[in-house]
Structure 1
């Protein structure tokens, strides 16, 4: 992807993600969201949802990226969001790091109250069954980075009832 420092380690399933990242995600509780970065195109400002979402909690950066139908990578302090994104000469648009997004801006400066992993478990057959989302709860609401079936989606508010919450205790 040409993102400096991005070396994803994609995992599948709630247990794999919880074992690899649960304790460290839980330790974010009590920190403030001090910033974020995501990739937008310079030409039109559209979000490129295939790239990681980087959240900064008082100097600890968590990097969340979904791909395919069920893969999730959680990274830590590895992506350099000040470096230019390279290697896209073949593409007609120019990707660049952005620190603006109204969904995320509403949470900047807020203290993180809880982190949870959410497992999507619909009643019937669904291609998204078993996907894992990361949810960050603040006093002003909840923010989730979910699998949009081969890309990231950002959701705000109460999660759909099809999600099973796996709270991560600090």
Structure 2
């Protein structure tokens, strides 16, 4: 999919489906260090291609997060080869390639993950994004979450918007 080597997403809808399929795996990341990450940028201008998965490597366990459409989320494990070229690209004249440059994620590299949570968007009023999910990663030095920006990924730093309901996944690691 998307010309990404090894990427075969399973898109799920809803908190329970995502938690049942991936909750234990996400919780097991607690205590591991974020050792590297990969996002897709266009070679020509360096812009982030937010439709492609965000790949996070925690001491050799790779989690791949990709939002799709208005409410679908795929979390896959150890399938994407970020050293392989993205091939078969036909949607744009620009050339996509894996990058480990991102000012939002770089400060977390080398940090130990303390907790993972799923966030569910529960707005007080009507909202087309209601019930969409984000995955939050908490470190001693801060946190970020990867959310659905309505058919693409978004990476946001700090505390989530108050209309997200937070569901910790049981991996709260205590400081040494």
TM-score range, shorter chain: over 0.9
Cα deviation for residue 88 of structure 1 reads 1.4
Structure 1: unaligned runs, 5 residues or longer? none
Residue equivalent to 1:86: 87
Residue equivalent to 1:7: 8
**Do structure 1's residue 37 and structure 2's residue 55 form an aligned pair?**
no
**Do structure 1's residue 64 and structure 2's residue 102 form an aligned pair?**
no
Q: Distance in 1 between matches of 2:91 and 2:9?
A: 23
User: Bigger shift: 155-164 or 82-91?
Assistant: 82-91
Residue equivalent to 2:107: 106
Residue equivalent to 2:165: 164
Normalised to the residue count of structure 1, the TM-score between the two structures is 0.99
Q: Distance in 2 between matches of 1:113 and 1:38?
A: 22
Q: Distance in 2 between matches of 1:92 and 1:60?
A: 33
Q: Distance in 1 between matches of 2:75 and 2:91?
A: 28
Normalised to the residue count of structure 2, the TM-score between the two structures is 0.95
Q: Distance in 1 between matches of 2:15 and 2:91?
A: 36
Q: Distance in 2 between matches of 1:91 and 1:68?
A: 19
Q: How many residues were matched structurally?
A: 170
Cα offsets for 1:127-159 (capped at 9, x unmatched)? 100001000000011110000000000000011
Structure 2: unaligned runs, 5 residues or longer? 172-176
Gap change, CA 1:130 and 1:46, over 3 Å in 2: same
Residue equivalent to 1:136: 137
Residue equivalent to 1:18: 19
Q: Distance in 2 between matches of 1:90 and 1:164?
A: 35
Residue equivalent to 2:116: 115
